[in-house]
Structure 1
């Protein structure tokens, strides 16, 4: 029995700093996805909302919040929170409902109105929360541990700030072609190098921003898609939402110091690699089958790490892959053809859904100037707090 579900529709609200409610963004993305699918809201059997804790009480019950905004019509409802992996877990919940036969059409929505500057843990003191611990005890905001990862790559693999800058150059050029991206301006390596240092060795243009934005998908059974006149839909073939396996349990801070003399090789398979492996195994494919990948580029250095964790190259070979143009448009495996978080910024509940929107457009062949020629198989990858890994494989 196939475990595929069809992606009938994809929609987004442009990302930026608009000063409106996450509900407004999510409703706009949902209506765009419904229009793209050619499905009326009244025909949707379930809605799954990816939560945003910054949205107050409505953000904690995002599914019902969006159902109300679209107009009560009796649909099932669910809300999912998994930090940056919220969108992928919302997709997983929707897929499970379809495969269980509970409904044939599910709307998945994620939206955020993010504050300016660093994300802060919500809800006061939480000493069992890794975010709270690194903020309050270590003074380590997100860019700090991005910088630690970058330093590790420099110490262990010989990467350079110039390598990191090339990631931004690639992604900014693609973001310039994406009407939904917040930053639509090409940059040069020299401009990256001239931007302010935030967390050495990373500069301002090496690090993604926080943004407002939204993304939505209409998922259905393959049978419904066929009856709806879509004979060859984009299909989700695998959703990996695995947790770490002991002893690899350090989720957010690398187990290193910034002094290269004490940097050591990480033990065994990384958590991110295990997320990808689970997706490959479920989909019955390998890295060699991919046409493109959308990865979680919180920083330029982290994109290089994903190349290795996805199995696109061996350990320490990410920068070489980039320099050879393998992950650029026209390369063997373009990475982040959407422009990535470098071009969008983080709208946390929406970003994993936005990645699948990009896969859908690419696999349909409707991505315009960003189109990856002959795209047939794509993968997404990101990681949320508390071991919420996520990866989605889509095929056509």
Structure 2
């Protein structure tokens, strides 16, 4: 059954993740050609290209849509470039969807690619004193791993999570990534290996935190009528794309034994930012977490993945560790999370990762994911959180 706002995923393609030392343009072109081949289309058939921008790729990265159109060969297609930090890929998908549903284009190519520098990402975009993330970097010196470590400590204080629980997430994702030919790290990891890796931001160790990577992903999206005319009788469909911002900040500390009397101008939302992202997607798609076959989430750290379980409604607050202990989110579990291997196995290629998540949903819902295939997969969700209130969630169905 199709929803009124459904669009079809006609093709999906990727360039393997790694540290290849080449231009993001090369990676994106490989992924784009793979998606076109998967769709059974030639490049001149595409009338619109949406590129997820990379701010670390110089001027060509800022105008990614035009950059990829040029690399594939100028043929008159409309070009659009989108930047939204870690949600860039989903924003690009949403832009393509708007063009398709409005009748501006029948078929759209979406491409995200990056050549990431080694080490921690440095803040981009100059001085931003109105950006809480910039202030975190500049005033507190809190790099992303330090931020992740605070999240982990919060879970330990509130819910009783342990470093062993965090390690279980890495073990689970590494086992899935070992089965994915596009993953950068294709090796199983034990809990003992996680515990033996260097401490980066207590309690998180090196193997609890994702790397930075080169990589690319692409999708060919179209309307349902176009898909049927090209022989796709029952294609994977994108039913919802959420790109909401936070409602109100949570200004009341919730750690045990700490009381605050912070005054707020309005009642805080009962949902966290991440939970609000997923809730908006569920409402648009007309489904709930109980309908999910799988989820692909933004596992910058192992502790953050546990938080996503709760924000997606897979369990109640504080119950994320219980799910991973019981194998619920592993391959073969009730709701596998990061069957692709997640960022734990890929690393961050920022403008590509939200597109790559939808590639994984596509392959799983088609039943073509190989050794990591989830039996009977019919509905999947993705989730990302980025800088400056950028977040995204995509729901795909079949």
Q: Secondary structure at the match of 1:379?
A: strand
Q: Cα offset for 1:121? A: 1.1
In structure 1, what is the Cα distance between the partners aligned to 2:59 and 2:123? 16
Deviation at 1:201, TM superposition (A): 0.3
Q: Is the 8 A contact 2:165 2:321 kept in 1?
A: yes
Cα deviation for residue 268 of structure 1 reads 2.5
Structure 1 position 260, deviation (Å) = 6.6
**Structure 2 SS opposite 1:32:** helix
State whether residues 152 and 260 of structure 1, in contact with CA within 8 Å, keep that contact through their aligned partners in structure 2. Answer: no
Match of 1:242 among 231, 236, 244: 244
Match of 1:318?
Answer: 320
How far 1:133 sits from its partner (Å)?
1.3
Measured in 2, the distance between the counterparts of 1:286 and 1:267 equals 19
Match of 2:26 in 1: 24
Residues 118 and 142 of structure 1 are in contact (CA less than 8 Å); yes or no, is this contact kept in structure 2? yes
List runs of 5+ in structure 2 lacking aligned partners: 261-267
Q: What is the CA distance between 1:197 and its match in structure 2?
A: 0.2
Equivalence for 2:209: 207
1:267 is displaced (CA, Å) by 7.2
Matched-pair contact (CA < 8 Å) for 1:134–1:140: yes
Pairwise CA distance, 1:387: 1.1
1:263, CA displacement in angstroms? 9.1
Deviations 1:1-29, CA, capped at 9 Å, x for gaps: 71000000000000000000010100110
Q: How do residues 270-281 of structure 1 correspond to structure 2 at under 5 angstroms?
A: 270-281=272-283
Deviations 1:226-266 (A, max 9, x none): 00001000000000000110244x8xxxx769x975499x9
2:207 is paired with a residue whose SS is: helix
Q: Deviations over 1:95-115 (max 9, x none)?
A: 000000111100000000000
When normalised by structure 2's length, the TM-score is 0.95
Aligned-residue offset at 1:330: 1.0
Partner of 1:330: 332
User: Which aligned pairs between 1:1-396 and structure 2 lie closer than 5 A?
Assistant: 2-248=4-250, 262=258, 268-396=270-398
Deviations 1:311-355 (A, max 9, x none): 000000000011111111111100000000000000000000000
Secondary structure, in 3 states, of the residue corresponding to 2:11?
A: strand
| Distance in 1, Cα, partners of 2:208 & 2:361 | 24
How far apart, in 2, do the equivalents of 1:260 and 1:205 lie? 29
- Judge conservation of contact 1:379–1:394 (CA < 8 Å) in 2: yes
For residues 191 and 253 of structure 2, what CA distance do their matches in structure 1 show? Answer: 28
Q: Deviations over 1:70-122 (max 9, x none)?
A: 00011111000000000000000000000001111000000000000000112
8 Å contact 1:152–1:256 — kept in the other structure?
Answer: no
- Listed one character per residue, the Cα deviations across residues 29-53 of structure 1 (whole Å, up to 9, x for unaligned) are 0000000100111000100000000
Q: Which runs of 5+ in 1 are unaligned?
A: none
Of 133-142 and 355-364, the range deviating more from structure 2: 133-142
Instruction: Tell me by how many angstroms 1:126 deviates.
Output: 2.5
8 Å contact kept, 1:242–1:389: yes
Contact kept in structure 1, 2:14 and 2:30, CA below 8 Å: yes
Q: Please give the alpha-carbon distance, in whole angstroms, between the structure 2 residues aligned to 1:263 and 1:242.
A: 30
Q: Distance in 2 between matches of 1:224 and 1:393?
A: 21
Which whole-Å CA distance do the structure 2 matches of 1:182 and 1:224 have between them?
A: 35
SS of the residue 2:280 aligns to:
helix
Q: CA contact under 8 A between 1:47 and 1:106: conserved in structure 2?
A: yes
CA drift at 1:300: 0.2
Distance in 1 (alpha carbons) for counterparts of 2:125 and 2:247? 29
In 1, distance between residues paired with 2:5 and 2:389? 25
Q: TM-score, normalised by structure 1?
A: 0.96
- What secondary structure, in the 3-state scheme, does the structure 2 residue paired with 1:116 have? coil
Secondary structure of the residue aligned to 2:220 is strand
Q: Partners in 2 of 1:38 and 1:27 — Cα distance?
A: 16
